Amino acid sequence: MENIFVEGLKENDINKLLAVPKSDLHNHSTKGCRREWLAQHLHVNIPEPPQHLEGLDGMQTWFRSSIKPFCNGYENMLLRWEGAFAEARRNNITRLVMNFGTAEVDHVGTVQEFQELIEGFHKTYCPDSIFEAELTYPSFGNVEEEADELDKYASSGYFKAIDICAGENVKPFEAFLPLYRKAEKYHLTKKMHVGETGSAEDVRRAVETLGLSEVHHGIGASTSKETMRFLADNHIQVNICPSSNVMLGFAKNYKTHPIRTLVENGVRVTINTDDLLIFDSSIENEYLKLYKAGTLSAEQLNEIRQTGLGIL
């Protein structure tokens, strides 16, 4: 399979790239489907995103004004979840991690009802794929209350990881300790959105303070040899989303994307979509963009693919 993937990159052969098993480990579930898929199922024309979205605020503004009006409400939330699993089948994503907020779980009903709903999509579209549900919390939330309520969501064993998103440096990392300590009770993989807008020091401090084993984004680490060595020595995985970084202005372009520096310094990285519905670049295209830009070789990109699958 690895030869097919390398050939697909070198030959610009989408079918070969689609045929090979891949992972998507940084996927915001309600924005995890393809724009074309959603437009087809809603019988509407959904606009393409601009090349630049002017940071996180610009992204949210564009999403609320240009996409959300077409797919608002509970039923359309379910449709977008379904579309994320449909994309996993189309793209041969055999390891899929999607995050869900507690409000989204509650919107469905009980945790058991949520699990049955999500597993219905999983079994319908990609039953042979490894699927891991990740519980995500906003950085501006009430940590003490969230920690108290975590038992409700984690006790079922369905959620495999915990994450903080929605903006960096909103609170000190120490403020999230009650939530992450409670997460340890349920053996949840500890992750956090950090180093997208923040510094290399932020990445290191988040890992050390909260005991993270994975970092979502983490590209800020590329500015510090010491931080990259720390990540490499401690086997901390960085789940990178190239199109997200470029379109939001956190990376200048694909050619100079920080993923190259991280790889050259031995950091374990994966390639992911982040918000496919917004950034309009599915997994095979993320690899292809980096290859065409000359950021990494086909062989290096194939190693990253294998890392995401847990082969390396």
Domain map (residue ranges) of the chain? 2-308
Q: What is the pLDDT of residue 312?
A: 74
Tell me the CA end-to-end span of the chain in Å, nearest whole number: 15
Which residue, 161, 211, 164, 206, is CA-closest to 187? 161
CATH architecture of 2-308: Alpha-Beta Barrel (3.20)
Q: What is the pLDDT of residue 287?
A: 98
Q: In which region does residue 211 sit, left (phi positive, over 0), alpha (psi from -120 to 50) or beta (all else)?
A: left
DSSP 8-class letter at 198: S
Q: pLDDT tens digits, residue range 222-269?
A: 999 999 999 999 999 999 999 999 999 999 999 999 999 999 999 999
Which residue, 189, 185, 126, 128, is CA-closest to 152? 185
Residues in the chain: 312
What interhelical angle do 177-185 and 200-210 show, nearest 10? 50
Which residue, 274, 261, 32, is CA-closest to 163? 274
Q: What is the pLDDT of residue 2?
A: 67
Determine phi and psi for 35, rounding to 5 degrees. Answer: -60, -40
DSSP secondary structure string for all residues of 248-299: TTSSS-STT-THHHHHHTT-EEEE--B-HHHH---HHHHHHHHHHTTSS-HH
Residues of the chain with pLDDT under 50: none
To which residue do tokens 């189309």 refer?
90
Contact assessment for residue 163 and residue 217, using Cβ atoms and an 8 Å cutoff: no
Q: Is 133 helix (H, G, I), strand (E, B) or coil?
A: strand
Determine phi and psi for 171, rounding to 5 degrees. Answer: -140, 160
pTM beyond 0.75: yes
Determine phi and psi for 186, rounding to 5 degrees. Answer: -105, 10
Beta bridge partner(s), residue 132: 97
**In this structure, how many other beta carbons lie within 10 angstroms of the beta carbon of residue 163?**
25
To which residue do tokens 């993320």 refer?
286
Contacts (Cβ under 8 Å, ≥6 apart) of 135: 99, 100, 101, 102, 150, 153, 154, 159, 161, 162, 163, 188
CA–CA separation, 100 and 78 (whole Å)? 12
Contacts (Cβ under 8 Å, ≥6 apart) of 134: 97, 98, 99, 100, 159, 160, 161, 162, 163, 191
Q: pLDDT tens digits, residue range 194-230?
A: 999 999 999 999 999 999 999 999 999 999 999 999 9
